[in-house]
Amino acid sequence: MIYLLIGIAVVATIVAGSMRSRALSRGVAIGALGLLAAVPLAVHDDATINLLADAGLYVILALGLNVVVGFAGLLDLGYAAFFAIGAYTYGMLASPQFGIHVPFWLLLFVAALLAALFGTVLGAPTLRLRGDYLAIVTLGFGEIVPQIFQNLTKYTGGPNGISALDIPRLGPYSFGLSATPYYEVTVALVALTILLVCNLRASRLGRAWTAIREDELAAKHAGIDTTRTKLAAFALGASFSGLAGVVFAAKLSLVSPDLFQFQVSVLIVSMLVLGGMGNVAGVIVGSLVLSTVNEAILPQADTLAERLFHLRVDLTADHYFIYGAILVAIMLLRPEGLLPNRERRAELHASADA
């Protein structure tokens, strides 16, 4: 059932992304989101709903990173740091840690603003860096933030993190331990993220990002303020990660530094590369595919191998090997991604023909 639902969402996303009519494309996208919102009426397995909620959070994270990497062309390998900032914002302001119990709905905005602020802090000293140098700096930032949370034991609980987080409420209704309300909130945030990202791409700011990605020097001579434009990309991309971090922490009722390591950033970047950088529909497809592989297929690889091929093997320690092999195969066979934008496809095929 879960694979059928994800397959429907992927097909609807591809169809919406390939339509030339913007109104019809939006109609298909709204229909797909409405269908996904109604999933709990048909699926009563809480573990499945929880898996779908995690997939939705990955979609938000990937769309946020797509603003930085896909639109502006700024390689960010420390994106999990903003995810951690959003999660710890909820952990510190909605728990017994400091005796502060700020409502979940308010913290969604607070975490987005804090993550945007730290995105600006990261972007400010790296504006002159490009390519590999920018990637190394963002990688360092991604490693520093979890270590700070781990070492500030008095405030963050250290390696053990912060537990017993407040359960979100909507009026008299408490979310409780069910994954369904978190899933519905995630679907709503995914819809909001898609709307904002699509509007940003079509805006004057989005066109400035595209110009910087293609040729920063030419963009600067064309009158674009590259400093402010790149800062906006870092800030806006980070804000989506902060949103996802709040929902993630509230659903798990726990935050810990181990949850925001480098492999999280690599996974999100891989979603962009797999789906097609710069293309919203492609990023959504890549997110759904890799989140399914990472959360549903690889943990059951032993069972699937025995059921499909009658092989009794222990693949517990080989998950990252299998995951890496899938990515290598995709990059060799289709380097532009599963659903690339026209510019990316033209660049790769032009270089191949040359």
- How is the chain split into domains, by residue range? 2-353
Q: Is 262 helix (H, G, I), strand (E, B) or coil?
A: helix
Give pLDDT, residue 297. Answer: 77
The CA–CA distances, whole Å, from 303 to 51, 115, 149, 326 equal 18, 40, 37, 19
Percent of the chain surpassing pLDDT 70: 85
Q: Where are the alpha helices (DSSP H) in the chain?
A: 2-18, 22-37, 39-42, 46-66, 80-93, 104-123, 131-151, 153-156, 180-202, 204-214, 216-221, 226-252, 262-275, 280-292, 301-309, 319-333, 342-353
Rounded CA-CA distance 212/239 in Å is 21
- Structure confidence by residue, pLDDT tens digits, 58-105: 999 999 999 999 898 888 888 999 999 999 999 999 998 888 899 999
Q: With b meaning 16 or more CB within 10 Å and e meaning fewer, what string describes 93-103?
A: bbbebeeeeee
φ/ψ of residue 101, rounded to 5? -130, 75
Residue 17 has pLDDT above 60, yes or no: no
CB of 200 closer than 8 Å to CB of 70? no
Give the architecture (CATH level 2) of 2-353.
Orthogonal Bundle (1.10)
22 has a pLDDT exceeding 80: no
Q: Roughly how many angstroms between the first and final C-alpha of the chain, as a whole number? A: 46
CA 29 to chain centre: 19
Neighbours of 88 (CB within 10 A): 30
Backbone torsions φ then ψ of 97, nearest 5 degrees: -55, -45
- List the structure tokens of 19: 């339509």
Band the pLDDT of 256: cuts 50, 70, 90: very high
Q: Measuring CA to CA, how many Å separate 191 from each of 37, 100, 249, 286, 291?
A: 10, 30, 20, 17, 18
What is the rounded average pLDDT for all residues in the chain? 83
Q: Which of 26, 25, 94, 37 is nearest to 248 (CA)?
A: 94
* Dihedral (CA of 181, 245, 57, 71) sign: positive
Instruction: Evaluate if residue 18 carries a pLDDT over 60.
Output: no
| More confident site: 37 or 182 | 182
Q: Report the predicted TM-score, pTM, of the whole model to 2 decimal places.
A: 0.90
> How far does CA 71 lie from the centroid of its chain?
15
Give the number of other Cβ atoms within 10 Å of residue 279's Cβ.
26
Beta bridge partners of 171: none
Q: Which amino acid does the sequence have at 122?
A: L
Nearest to 298 by CA among 322, 265, 274: 322
